[in-house]
Amino acid sequence: MASAKEWIRVRRDLRLGQRLSGTVTAVPAPGATGLFVDVGPPVGGFVDVLLLPADAHQWPQVGIIAEFEVWWADQRPQVRLKPVDRHFLREDFDQWQARWRPGRPENVPVDQAWVQAEAAPLREAGA
């Protein structure tokens, strides 16, 4: 795992939409959490379940080498990724992105990016 100083340096060089080749290393809870991807030292990658197909059998399996895009990177030393191959994306990805990440910037350094997202409304007590 990268030190805080090393992560700041690595993160400064990452751009939203940047493509990285990686190997799927773990799928800890298919259909529930997401999958881990080795994109090279010093940090790991992660694809959130929200970006993957509803049917976990369509997810890339451990050992698969694929292309991923940098989706996000925050203070945690981990790159959030989006699969490039549409077969590994949720079926309604374009509509989902239009709703939850409209106007998402591309080719912007992640440490300078700001993505506005609408939060789901809170449910009434007892609902």
Q: pLDDT tens for the chain, 127 residues: list them.
A: 778 888 888 888 899 999 999 999 999 988 889 999 999 878 899 999 999 999 999 999 999 999 999 999 888 889 999 999 999 999 999 999 888 887 777 777 777 765 444 444 554 555 4
Q: What single-letter amino acid sits at 110?
A: V
User: Cα–Cα–Cα angle for 73, 61, 115, nearest 5°?
Assistant: 20
Would you list the domain boundaries of the chain? 4-100
Record the pTM: 0.82
Contact between 70 and 83 under an 8 Å Cβ cutoff? The reply is: no
Q: What single-letter amino acid sits at 85?
A: D
Using only the alpha carbons of the chain, give its radius of gyration. 15
Q: Residue with structure tokens 């509803």?
A: 54
Class of domain 4-100: mainly beta
Contact between 82 and 50 under an 8 Å Cβ cutoff? The reply is: no
